[in-house]
Amino acid sequence: MTQTAEIGQKAAAGLRWGLLGTVVAKAGSFMLGLVLARLLAPKEFGIFALAYAASQFLLHVNDVGIFAATVQWRGKLEDMAPTATIMAFLFSVVIYAGFWFATPFYTSGAGSPEATSVVRLLTVIILIDGVTAIRSATLVRTFRQDKLTAANVAGFGAQAIVSIILAVGGAGAFSFAWGQLACNTVVAVLVLWFTRMPMRFEFDRAVALHLLKFGAPLAVSLGIEAILVNADKTIVAGAVGATQLGYYALAFNMSSWVPGLIGVPIRYVSLPSFSRLAEESDEALSDGVQRSIPVVFAAVLPATVVMVILSTSMVTFLYGGKWAPAAAAVAIMSLVTIVRMLYPLAFDILTALGATKSTVLLNFGWCVVLIPALIVGAHYYGIKGAAIAQAAVGLGVAMPLAGLMLHRAGIRLGPMLPRLVRPLVGGVAAALVMLPLAYLTRSVSVVQLVVAGGAGLIVYVLVVVPRAEFGKLADRLRPAPAASRLAGNEEM
């Protein structure tokens, strides 16, 4: 078996476990969101969105890229783990302490000073991450996604119990924060148990310099990426207040369903897979990219079409009429789904090549255009304007820039383009079928979702999936001939 085939098998196994865990966690998170949306007000969602944005930014930079450096490390983990462990924890402590004092300025700038305590509580999770970062990276590096899946599912169980109990008790936005803290604590304990790596504390200057050389540019890039993902919450809150931010946060979360369901398990295996392929040859990496991107694009496109056309029915049916103002933003933000799926792949490919400076340029180019666009859009057109800014800059700037950076890194994208034609045709066909059916069934949300959404998905599958695949499926479902069954019984 070639190294490429072996990596492919390990990545496939890791992807299956990652996908299983993500499906369970996302299904549970979806149900938890439905429950909490009925118990809490949009303003409380907005306050938590501010706290969550801060915590996600800090999680992107708190280990200074050491997590990715561990996954990409080309040597024995035992040589770098003690030093990496010390660095990851110390950086987390320093960053948390600094942000604790900066929190009032952050919340006041966002027009929600009442969120200060929630932000300070939720950002404790970066201290937990500082303890477990190297152990989690080890599981990712060795394709032991089954362990991460078990830890994440158990953590979500703790989160759901704590959040619902506190929400029923009237804890408001603190319900989310304590629930998330419970989740991260359970995950951390299980990750430490599964890896069982000795907690050695030794500092090797050469290893530290190597980690910083790789990780520092990546940390800057990840920090910019975190701004890209989370700055909109602060901008929207400052422009239109916490209540409107609650609607926007719901729209953002809905547009993140597919990237969360499919993108998270893919990222569990993409960086280690592309890193191993890069070690083999540039040609092997290019071939892997040409195969993976069209598959991801085909998987995400139908959900995007459904959410764009049926956003109003989805919001009101799932969350209730009080959340209807979020529907327009959902339709627009759904276009960003494609960007959120393909852009991280480009980021992981560049990281696998060691081109961390290119990831900085990639994120910086997107950021310098997006932030002004968000400010203008939110101040003049509210949450709809912010959503338009996200979609326009993501599709018009981020994706072309990602393609340019990959081309400069030596990745051949041209052979991939013909494989994108069939999904595009399928998406157009699905939309043409859905639009008239959505109009005819507009009076009842659930009927519109079932009839128009179901018809669109069926058309997409018929167009995109090759006939040969349907033939294989039919062969598997067809009962075996009597003679074959008899022969099988005789062999037993």
The DSSP code sequence of 332-377 is HHTTHHHHHHHHHHHHHHHHHTT-HHHHHHHHHHHHHHHHHHHHHH
Q: Which of 341, 353, 348, 339 is nearest to 410 (CA)?
A: 353
What is the rounded average pLDDT for all residues in the chain? 81
Backbone φ and ψ of 98, nearest 5°: -65, -40
Residue 485's pLDDT is 46
Minimum mean pLDDT range among 102-106, 261-265, 337-341: 261-265
- Packing angle of the helix pair 336-352, 205-240 (nearest 10 deg): 170
Q: Report pLDDT digits (tens) over 128-153.
A: 988 888 888 788 777 677 787 788 88
pLDDT for 219-267, tens place per residue? 777 677 777 777 888 899 888 888 898 899 889 888 888 777 676 667 6
Average pLDDT over residues 345-368: 81
pTM of the model as a whole:
0.70
DSSP code for 420: G
CA distances from 149 to 111, 368, 422 (A): 38, 36, 33
Look up tokens 């190294």; give the residue. 3
pLDDT value of position 491:
43
Q: Is the pLDDT of residue 309 over 90?
A: yes
Confidence class of residue 468 from pLDDT cuts 50, 70 and 90? low
Cα–Cα distance between 327 and 333 in angstroms, integer? 10
- In angstroms, the Cα distances linking 178 to 135, 181, 200, 399 are 24, 5, 31, 36
| Greatest mean pLDDT among 37-51, 248-262, 407-421, 423-437 | 423-437
Mean pLDDT, residues 439-467 taken together: 91
Q: Which pLDDT does position 385 carry in this prediction?
A: 94
At 132 the pLDDT is 85
Q: For the residues 177-198, what does the mean pLDDT come to? A: 89
Q: Greatest CA separation found in the chain?
A: 78
What are the backbone angles phi and psi of residue 40, rounded to the nearest 5°? -115, 160
Least confident of 12-16, 42-46, 274-278: 12-16
pLDDT of residue 490: 46
Is pLDDT of 392 > 90? yes
The fraction of the chain above a pLDDT of 90, given in percent, is: 29
